[in-house]
């Protein structure tokens, strides 16, 4: 298996669009993802949801564990606010503009597509929050849907401290607490791209095709929650004209 750090990916474009910053990464001929700095309006909206769940100790919230791959105790379905929905729509549109994603997706699935076509998406029915504790993890998995995303709201550790908990001497081979994509590269074979996610990733979102496998490794140096909000954009085929 080949490991790639995002620090060495050179196909990167940074744009300022609608009060948020987005960076695009092409990690394989058939795969890319975007990394978005979340606007404060969206973070404030998420804070209200997160704080309410923590204050009530998760009472009266809908468990989402059976719909997810993770070995995480506290996973709950949530209703996204209007600011988050607007951001997801904009990021999805700009992702398509950069990668030409939907033309390729529709061609692959033998669906009719027009560049001027409005693509019907269900955005707000497939959103959840993960409160991940020490030693919990998300195994390699992919999502249902067309486009997926994850927001790192709280990451209570630094990778430099997580590395010290390993028995290995080479830090390049240590995965504690990290998030990574797993995919087949036509020239490199089975490949992993690690994003280096720790406290410095708070307030960022990754958006990527739902078919792109990914994983979250357990962390060991904090007793606080690693809080992420994630979801899928689901194509509503019955509404396609």
Give the rounded percent of residues in the chain with a pLDDT score beyond 90. 76
Answer yes or no: is pLDDT of 55 > 50. Answer: yes
Please tell me whether the overall predicted TM-score, pTM, comes out greater than 0.75 for this model: yes
Instruction: Check which CATH number belongs to the domain holding 58 and give it.
Output: 2.60.120.620
Asked whether residue 115 is assigned to any structural domain, the reply reads no
Asked whether residue 114 is assigned to any structural domain, the reply reads no
Least confident of 56-65, 205-214, 232-241: 232-241
Q: What was the pLDDT predicted at 19?
A: 72
Range of the domain at 144: 2-106+120-239
Asked whether residue 68 is assigned to any structural domain, the reply reads yes
Q: What was the pLDDT predicted at 148?
A: 98
In whole angstroms, give the CA distance from residue 161 to residue 226.
15
Q: Average pLDDT for residues 192-196, to the nearest whole number? A: 96
In whole angstroms, give the CA distance from residue 20 to residue 151.
14
Asked whether residue 112 is assigned to any structural domain, the reply reads no
Domain count, the chain: 1
Q: What was the pLDDT predicted at 16?
A: 40
Structure confidence by residue, pLDDT tens digits, 74-89: 999 999 999 999 999 9
Structure confidence by residue, pLDDT tens digits, 96-148: 999 999 888 888 877 776 666 677 889 989 999 999 999 999 999 999 999 99
């Amino acid at each position: 298996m080949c490991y790639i750090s995002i620090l060495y990916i050179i196909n990167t474009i940074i744009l300022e669009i609608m009060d948020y910053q987005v960076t695009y990464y092409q990690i394989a001929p058939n795969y890319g993802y975007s990394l978005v700095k979340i606007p404060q309006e969206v973070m404030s909206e998420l804070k209200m949801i997160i704080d309410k769940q923590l204050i009530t100790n998760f009472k009266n919230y809908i468990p989402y564990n059976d719909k997810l791959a993770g070995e995480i105790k506290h996973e709950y379905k949530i209703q996204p606010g209007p600011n988050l929905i607007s951001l997801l729509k904009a990021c999805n549109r700009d992702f398509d503009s950069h990668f030409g994603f939907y033309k390729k997706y529709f061609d692959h699935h033998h669906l009719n597509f027009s560049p001027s076509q409005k693509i019907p998406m269900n955005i707000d029915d497939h959103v959840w929050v993960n409160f991940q504790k020490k030693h919990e993890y998300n195994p390699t998995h992919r999502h249902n849907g067309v486009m997926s995303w994850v927001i790192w709201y709280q990451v209570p550790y630094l990778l430099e401290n997580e590395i010290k908990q390993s028995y290995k001497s080479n830090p390049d081979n240590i995965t504690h607490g990290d998030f990574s994509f797993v995919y087949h590269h036509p020239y490199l074979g089975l490949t992993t791209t690690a994003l280096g996610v720790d406290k410095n990733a708070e307030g960022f979102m990754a958006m990527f095709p739902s078919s792109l496998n990914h994983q979250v490794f357990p962390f060991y140096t904090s007793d606080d929650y690693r809080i992420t909000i994630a979801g899928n954009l689901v194509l509503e085929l019955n509404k396609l004209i």
